[in-house]
Amino acid sequence: MKVFPDKLPDALNKRLPPVVIVAGDEPLIHLEACDAVRKAAREQGIEEREVYHVEGNFQWGRLTEAAASLSLFASRKLIELRLGSQAPGQEGGKTLEGYAQRIKDSDDLLLISANKLDRKQQQSKWFKALDKVGLFVPVWPVDHQRLGFWMQDRAGRHGLSMDMDAARLLGERTEGNLLAADQELQKFALLLPKGARLTVDTIAGGVESSARYDVFTLADACLKGESERVSRIIKGLEDEGVEAPILLWALTRELRSLLSLHQHLDQGQSFEHACKSQKPPIFDKRQPTYRQALQRLPVKRLHKLLLFAQRLDLAIKGASPVPLWNGLHDLALTLAGGRGLLAESPLSYRIS
């Protein structure tokens, strides 16, 4: 059964399941979800804990042995299986499926922690078998639109308050790095009296930028038309040393997807069918973002952006005089509906 992280403590208080799967790439929320499971286990009298890290040469028989062995000190134990980015594979899948089938004969609690599980993994036999008898906790990054509210709530946990402008600024400076945001709030809680209110000036003077971005965040911001955020992300990716071809690949992929959607719509297909026809398909959660981009970007503009992307590809290979990072900024900003940096440059052509 699926339970989101904010509802997990209540679910564990009602019933401690035999299996909990925590999966996702947001470190802070992932850590706190696992901590909630450990806390619930202790409250139920489970004191013994065995931890197994799954690596390439992991012996899956160790899990079977751990589940079958009796403790000298307690009748129940917590078994932690840390998959990380590893997939169970055929042997691991059979072992986990078998564990689920024997779950009624065991009083132990199995906590599986993993990076994000894709759709294929969630359709596997081992996942379905464990999900049927336990809880699945998907951990998602906090959406950019909700980040300010998350910061305000987090400040409250540390005995502080903050106005929305301050919360948004803290979100900008720590986006993609909630651990850093929490550490900053902990710092303020130590330095300021209980109940202190954080303002924009407090955040601006006391928090250095520690945001972490990736190319998928950039592509999403472009599709949503968030021009200012796009500029911030491009600068962050350049400072982190992300390779330019990776950015160009991500942006070009979205351009081709939008052109393909336009083509399907021109053929009389519904928007939903056009989204499902893409490779990979665009699922329901992201469809409004693409619909918004299609309304802003006609076919003619997309073709010009794709031509400009080809010039940037030549720049990467040293065969074009277009300034590479300014050009990437130009491409991303224009895709987001803003004005590119190269609009006045003699080395570029206008994207209009």
What is the CATH classification number for the domain harbouring 43? Answer: 3.40.50.300
What does the block give as tokens for 224? 């949503």
104 and 202 part of one domain: no
87, 119, 139 - which closes a domain: 139
- Residue 350 forms part of a structural domain: no
325 and 220 part of one domain: yes
**In whole numbers, what is the pLDDT of the chain averaged over residues?**
90
Across 201-216, average pLDDT: 88
Instruction: Tabulate helix, strand, coil % of the chain (nearest 5).
Output: 60, 10, 30
Across 327-352, average pLDDT: 68
Burial 306-324, CB ≥16 within 10 A → b, else e: bebbebbbebbeeebebbb
Across 317-336, average pLDDT: 92
Band (pLDDT 50/70/90 cuts) for residue 341 is: low
Across 242-247, average pLDDT: 94
- Residue 251 forms part of a structural domain: yes
Check pLDDT > 90 for residue 179.
Answer: yes
Across 293-306, average pLDDT: 93
Query: What pLDDT is attached to residue 352?
Result: 45
- Residue 258 forms part of a structural domain: yes
The region of weakest confidence among 69-73, 133-137, 185-189, 337-341 is: 69-73
The number of folded domains in the chain is: 3
Across the chain, the runs of DSSP E, i.e. the strands, are: 19-24, 48-53, 77-84, 109-114, 135-139, 161-162, 197-198
335 and 235 part of one domain: yes
Residue with more model confidence, 349 or 186: 186
Band (pLDDT 50/70/90 cuts) for residue 309 is: very high
Q: Rounded to whole angstroms, how far apart are CA atoms 222 and 296?
A: 11
CATH classification of the domain holding 238? 1.20.272.10
Query: What pLDDT is attached to residue 35?
Result: 96
- Residue 352 forms part of a structural domain: no
- Residue 349 forms part of a structural domain: no
239 and 267 part of one domain: yes
181 and 253 part of one domain: no
CATH classification of the domain holding 185? 1.10.8.60
Q: Rounded to whole angstroms, how far apart are CA atoms 74 and 41?
A: 13
What does the block give as tokens for 250? 């991500």
Digit-coded pLDDT (tens) for 260-281: 999 999 999 999 999 999 988 8
53 and 120 part of one domain: yes
Burial 90-117, CB ≥16 within 10 A → b, else e: eebbebbbbbbeebeeeebbbbbbbeeb
40 and 126 part of one domain: yes
47 and 160 part of one domain: no
Query: What pLDDT is attached to residue 73?
Result: 59
96 and 169 part of one domain: no
Query: What pLDDT is attached to residue 349?
Result: 47
89, 107, 139 - which closes a domain: 139
224 and 188 part of one domain: no
Q: Whole domain around residue 150: which residue ranges?
A: 144-206
Across 153-166, average pLDDT: 94
Decide: 293 and 225 in contact? Cβ < 8 Å: yes
Band (pLDDT 50/70/90 cuts) for residue 72 is: low
219 and 202 part of one domain: no
304 and 187 part of one domain: no
Across 6-31, average pLDDT: 93
105, 139, 173 - which closes a domain: 139
Query: What pLDDT is attached to residue 337?
Result: 87
Query: What pLDDT is attached to residue 206?
Result: 87
Digit-coded pLDDT (tens) for 86-135: 889 999 999 999 989 888 767 889 999 999 998 899 999 999 999 999 99
Query: What pLDDT is attached to residue 107?
Result: 81
Digit-coded pLDDT (tens) for 314-323: 999 999 888 9
Query: What pLDDT is attached to residue 340?
Result: 59
Decide: 333 and 339 in contact? Cβ < 8 Å: yes
